Amino acid sequence: MKDRTMTAKSMTGASILWECLEREGVQVVFGYPGGAILPAYDALKGSKIHHILVRHEQGATHMADGFARASGQVGVAIATSGPGATNMVTGIATAMLDSSPIVCITGQVGSKLIGSDAFQETDITGVTLPITKHNYLVTHASEVARTVREAFYVARSGRPGPVLIDITKDAQQTTCEFDWEAARPQLPGYRPDLSPEQSEYDEALELIRNSKRPVILAGHGIIISGAMSEVREFAEKAGIPVALTLLGIGAFPAAHPLNLGMMGMHGEAWVNHTIQEADLLLAFGMRFDDRVTGNLKTYAANAKKIHIEIDPAEINKNVKVDVPLVGDLREVLHQLLPHVESIDRSEWLDSIDKLKGDAAVRDIQNLPDSGHLYAAHVINDLWRETRDADTVVVTDVGQHQMWEAQYYKHEKARSLITSGGLGTMGFALPAAIGAKVARPEAEVWVIVGDGGFQMTLCELATIVQEKLKVNIAIINNGFLGMVRQWQEFFYERNYAATPLLNPDFEKLGEAYGIRSMTVTERSQVVPAVRAARQHDGPVLINFRVEQEDTVYPMVAAGASLHEMIRRPSKIVETAEDE
């Protein structure tokens, strides 16, 4: 009690907010001011926190998300009430589905006005209830400190996720005693630290021991848990190959001989065949998303399944598993590792090599130059040029995202940032800003389609205003490419609403004061990438690629994982179609 009186001092809710953010380690917030959050902005001048002015609140949430994914720390976005808050919804849902720890702070109308349909009033805690891990409405200055502390703790612990704090204008304006120590989180119902039973460990080890054809399914949870070296040790010790989910890319080095590559809808054929032929799946921090499993009835039908997962609600949700190990992946692997036996599985690994079959021959990289510029070429050349640097690639959603996953080889965790679960177009550019702010020393590349780029291109101004060295590669095919691909395969090439009339992206970039160029031939790709890397400021490259190109292989929605549409073995077919 003595300490409390010693440390307490009288502050406004707004000042307490910034003070608590600082104490949580926040150095940068992404935001956009407005009426109901103005008291907080007014108090910003007394804070060491750097505020980055975005051009749209959706951008602020994606930046916070990109920041979180690049650094592993909580990202913070701030906006006003009403439209400011609702503009955040897409970014919050994106963070929710990809378990990204962000805290979103919104202003709210005065507490006396709540429920009166006041100007710019929205029930944002009601709106975001199903897309946040937790949210708060704060109506008194005295609640600010505890709420911020709880929000950060909830956002980053267990399975991370977005937390929203809605603070009424009067709660920001009024004054109360601030006491950080006394404002400890009180979360009696929140228990993120679970661990498996010994019997479950024993069952898992028994299954691993008896398996002849095991595969590790490596997911985002590895990166979140920081279990990269444990997974590698596990795979090497037990001689088990590793397939990656989209968000698992980087969790296991691409160049590692046990790395099979990405699984699922656009996974390589041999990866999916390996999963279908396996007798044991070891799911590490992944959730058997439908893009990964295809038809559940035929999914890995002969395999036993071990699921290591921090969220108990994921167990048996999509795929029935034999042994669930609920807990933090890194800790669970620490328990398992000493007991994992070294078993020679060369027969299984050799048979996987055979499954690769003619895949290499079908690979677009190995086909003769047809004079066309393919996105895969651009991305693969970009990889060759940047592979030795500390590079973070941030993608948008669609064909270019899948080509990135296939043709950019990631050796390190957090070197690919992409919207997986929600598939949010417009994610890349703002998320890359967040990534660059989190890791200024890293080389950040945006790979984005011409469709998604135009959803959030207003943030080009944020890049310029903040003097951020971000390189932007627009994969411009004049189509909403992935939708067009589905129309090609499943809707008899009825290209309804997928062709895009685009502005001149080079001129657009120049208008923002960003050095910009256009590339139309493969021979120009490497020089353009080199010029971009050498340039001091941000660079935009408009890659005008083949218009009707297709991501292969493809598992149609609802089809079995081994039923893939493969790239025709002669690539010229694609060109001759025109």
Partner 1 sequence: MLNTYVVYVENKPGVLTRVASLFRRRAFNIDSLTVGRTEKPEVSRMTITAEADHDQARRIEANLYKLVNVLLVENITNQPAIVRDLAMIKVAATHEARSHVLELASVFRARVVDVAPDSLTIEITGAEDKIDGLLEVLRPYGVLEMVRTGIVAMRRGKGSVPVPVASSSDHDAAEEDVSHSV
On the 0-12 / 13-18 / 19+ scale of CB atoms within 10 A, 5 is: exposed
Catalytic pick among 73, 120, 173, 465: 120
Helix (H) or strand (E) holding 456: helix 450-456
Shortest CB 530 distance to partner 1, Å:
34
Of 22, 2, 23, 19, whose CA–CA distance to 10 is shortest?
19
Question: From the CB of residue 329, how many other CB atoms can be counted at a distance below 10 Å?
Answer: 23
Active site residue 427: no
SS3 179: coil
In the complex with partner 1, the residue whose CB is nearer, 134 or 484, is 134
| C-alpha 482 chain-centroid distance | 19
Locus of tokens 């050095």: 515
Per annotation, catalytic residue among 121, 143, 169, 230: 169
Q: Residue 10 CB: number of other CB atoms within 10 A?
A: 10
Which residue number, 67 or 479, has a Cβ lying nearer to partner 1?
Answer: 67
Selected catalytic residue, list 57, 150, 230, 385: 57
Q: How far is the CB of 311 from partner 1 (least distance, A)?
A: 7
Taking the least distance from each CB to partner 1, the nearer of 160 and 294 is 160
Cross-strand pairs, 394 = 417, 446
Least distance (Å) from partner 1 to the CB of residue 220? 11
Concatenated DSSP letters for 516-564? EEEE-SGGGHHHHHHHHHHSSS-EEEEEE--TT---SSEEPTTS-TT-E
The rounded distance, in Å, linking the Cα atoms of 280 and 322 is: 10
For the chain, the straight-line distance linking the first and the last C-alpha, in angstroms and rounded, comes to: 79
Q: How far is the CB of 11 from partner 1 (least distance, A)?
A: 21
Of the candidates 27, 112, 119, 507, the residue annotated as catalytic is 119
From the CB of 134, what's the least distance to partner 1, in Å?
A: 4
Please state the φ and ψ torsions of residue 64, each to the nearest 5 degrees: -60, -40
Task: Give all strands of the β-sheet with 539-544 in edge-to-edge order.
Answer: 416-417, 391-395, 443-449, 470-476, 539-544, 515-519
Nearer to partner 1, 90 or 462 (CB): 90
Q: Which residues contact 473 (CB under 8 A, 6 or more apart)?
A: 378, 382, 445, 446, 447, 448, 541, 543
Q: How far is the CB of 121 from partner 1 (least distance, A)?
A: 17
DSSP state of 478: S
**Count of alpha carbons within 13 angstroms of residue 113, beta-carbon side:** 16
Task: For partner 1, give the closer residue by CB, 72 or 513.
Answer: 72
> Pick the catalytic residue: 482, 517, 554, 564?
482
Residue 169 designated active-site: yes
Output DSSP code: residue 441. T
How far, in Å, CA of 169 to CA of 107, rounded? 6
What minimum distance in Å lies between the beta carbon of 81 and partner 1? 18
How far apart CA 118 and CA 157 sit, in angstroms, is 36
> Does the annotation mark 119 as catalytic?
yes
Residue 434: CB minimum distance to partner 1, A = 16
Taking the least distance from each CB to partner 1, the nearer of 143 and 396 is 143
Residue closer to partner 1, measured from CB, 8 or 483: 8
Give the interface with partner 1 as residue ranges (CB under 8 A): 72-73, 101, 125-126, 129-130, 133-134, 137, 149-150, 153-154, 156-158, 160, 182, 184-193, 224-226, 311-313, 315-317, 320, 328
Pick between residue 148 and residue 429 the one whose CB is nearest to partner 1.
148
Give the residue numbers marked as catalytic: 57, 119-120, 169, 482
